[in-house]
Structure 1
């Protein structure tokens, strides 16, 4: 896997993924950013949330459960001093579907966190990661 980032002035960088997708990232205004895209540390949380969300949906679909939506809200706390690494991260899953049982969603979240989500397993080496979920009947 490979990506590249190219400086686009001030604190903005255009990222290009090996799969051919492009997006703009930007630093915060207090560092000279112009708000042209998400902050790099926000992208880490987005990557974590989407990596785990893909796992949860895939696990549920593989089990032939009727999933209609999955939203993963990710919040992170960072150290006060540089390097301002994440010290705590919390993922809250809102999974919608027909006839979904808490036990099934709990298992899917646990499998993602403990076995499948590379981003979660990697970040857990540096930060405390917690999870919770709610099931919404659709």
Structure 2
């Protein structure tokens, strides 16, 4: 896996993934930025959310659950002192589908966070990560 980051100006950077996708990173005005892009730590949380969402959906599909939607909301706290690592992360999964079995959703979340989601496992080395889930029946 590769990544390339190019400085544009001030505190704005253009990140390019090895697969050719790009993202703008920028800081707030008080740090010399223009607020025109995401901050790097926001991208880490988005990566965590994407990683665990993918896992949960795949696990539920393989379990023959009729999953129709999955929304992950993440709240995080960071250390006051540098390095300002994440210290607490709370992940809330809202999973919608037809006759979803709650125990299957619980199992999918657990498998993602404890076994499959590399981002969750890596961030768990510095942060206390907690989870909750809500199941919505679409019928």
The TM-score range, normalised by the shorter chain, is over 0.9
SS at match of 2:9: coil
What 5-or-longer segments of structure 1 have no aligned partner? Answer: none
1:33 aligned partner: 33
1:87 aligned partner: 87
1:44 aligned partner: 44
Whole-Å separation in 2 of the counterparts to 1:133 and 1:32: 39
1:107 aligned partner: 107
- Number of positions where the alignment pairs a residue of Structure 1 with one of Structure 2: 138
1:55 aligned partner: 55
2:78 aligned partner: 78
| 1:102 to partner: Cα distance | 1.2
Whole-Å separation in 2 of the counterparts to 1:57 and 1:29: 38
2:120 aligned partner: 120
1:5 aligned partner: 5
1:14 aligned partner: 14
Runs of 4 or more, structure 1, over 3 Å off, are none
Whole-Å separation in 2 of the counterparts to 1:88 and 1:60: 27
CA RMSD across the alignment: 0.7
Whole-Å separation in 1 of the counterparts to 2:38 and 2:106: 30
| 1:28 to partner: Cα distance | 2.0
| 1:24 to partner: Cα distance | 0.5
State the TM-score, normalizing by the size of structure 1: 0.98
Whole-Å separation in 2 of the counterparts to 1:57 and 1:2: 26
State the TM-score, normalizing by the size of structure 2: 0.97
